[in-house]
Amino acid sequence: MTAAAELRSGKGHKDENFPVASHLIHPRYRAPILAFYNFVRTADDIADHESLPAQEKLDQLNRLEAELLGDGDTQPEAVALRRALAERGLEPRHAQDLLTAFRMDVTKLRYENWDDLIHYCSYSAMPVGRFVLDVHGEDRATWAANDALCAALQINNHLQDCGKDYRKLNRVYVPRDALETAGVAVEELGAAKSSPSLLACLRKLAERNEALLTQSASFSSQVKDMRLGMEISVIDAFARRIVGLLKTHDPLCEKVHLSKGEMLRLAALSAAAEFGRRMTGTKSMPRLSTGA
């Protein structure tokens, strides 16, 4: 069997739509977060591999989980995360939840409705933030806000990549009922440009996703660690800006990703706003606009 690391796409933590253990995070927390990321990225790349047979994908994911739990030492990403968890007395639950999502990516190619999609996010996205919170020793009362933000990030990604996911993997996260209500055939996701009906459908989903960001608006102020709060504020700003792009652009033919320059600008503004809030004791700060 091919080694899991050989199936990596080459994408790293600096290529994501959101910061992963940026230098806002205290150095003592960055190592376990990066170990978690490397494990998850390896598993994600396996699930998204364009030519690997489905059964081999599942076998690879099962082997990663087995070694995460101590059965073997041949997969460096699994071994590194296993050791990082042991050093800090953390359970592998969040990584296992993500493996469940990646198995779903292999076996489940369509989603019926919004609730079905959120259920997927409960495995594919929410555990990422929960892990970071656990590493920081934060109260699990923060999980509700975390879950809303992480789901919003995941759904942003689904909408951004809806054409690519359909063309390359025949995978559709746009809910079936949303397409049917709009009178859109799933095959339209393979077009070079969205039809007016598909574009309206995608924009309605972006608006619905924006409501998740409303639910998570207080997240940064709920965490005790100031540096983590600043990181969350940055992630929130990125998510809001991408929602804004999705409400005004066609993801099949237009750029709906943030440039490096825009990411730096938003990061500086949002981190400074969160720092100022904490220094002045202000309960909340206005969120950055998602407008164009």
Please compute the mean of the pLDDT values over residues 111-130 and round it to a whole number: 98
On the question of pLDDT at 47 being above 90, the answer is: yes
Please compute the mean of the pLDDT values over residues 240-261 and round it to a whole number: 96
Candidates 88, 90, 67; CA nearest to 79 is 67
Tell whether 124 and 90 lie within a shared domain. no
pLDDT at 22: 78
Does residue 220 lie in a domain region? yes
Residue 251, phi-psi category: left (phi > 0), alpha (psi -120 to 50), beta (remainder): alpha
On the question of pLDDT at 273 being above 80, the answer is: yes
pLDDT at 1: 55
Tell whether 78 and 117 lie within a shared domain. no
Q: Decide: helix, strand or coil at residue 114.
A: helix
Provide the domain count of the chain. Answer: 2
On the question of pLDDT at 290 being above 60, the answer is: no
Tell whether 157 and 92 lie within a shared domain. no
Q: Tell which of 107, 123, 147 closes a domain.
A: 107
Tell whether 35 and 123 lie within a shared domain. no
pLDDT at 7: 65
Do residues 155 and 209 make contact, with C-beta atoms less than 8 angstroms apart? yes
For residue 62, the number of C-alpha atoms closer than 13 Å in the C-beta half-sphere is 8
pLDDT at 292: 42
On the question of pLDDT at 288 being above 80, the answer is: no
pLDDT at 23: 82
Tell whether 82 and 149 lie within a shared domain. no
Tell whether 250 and 224 lie within a shared domain. yes
Tell whether 130 and 95 lie within a shared domain. no
Tell whether 221 and 119 lie within a shared domain. yes
Structure confidence at residue 247 as a pLDDT band (50, 70, 90)? very high
Does residue 5 lie in a domain region? no
On the question of pLDDT at 232 being above 60, the answer is: yes
Do residues 151 and 241 make contact, with C-beta atoms less than 8 angstroms apart? no
pLDDT at 281: 81
Tell whether 66 and 123 lie within a shared domain. no
Tell whether 165 and 36 lie within a shared domain. no
Percentage of residues of the chain with pLDDT beyond 70:
89
On the question of pLDDT at 10 being above 90, the answer is: no
What is the CATH number for 131?
Answer: 1.10.600.10
- Structure confidence by residue, pLDDT tens digits, 53-84: 999 999 999 999 999 999 999 999 999 999 99
Do residues 29 and 71 make contact, with C-beta atoms less than 8 angstroms apart? no
On the question of pLDDT at 285 being above 90, the answer is: no
pTM: 0.91
Tell whether 157 and 247 lie within a shared domain. yes
pLDDT at 11: 53
Residue 168, phi-psi category: left (phi > 0), alpha (psi -120 to 50), beta (remainder): alpha
What is the pLDDT of the chain when averaged over all its residues? 92
Does residue 18 lie in a domain region? no
On the question of pLDDT at 278 being above 80, the answer is: yes
Domain that holds residue 57: 24-107
On the question of pLDDT at 21 being above 90, the answer is: no
On the question of pLDDT at 272 being above 70, the answer is: yes
Tell whether 31 and 76 lie within a shared domain. yes
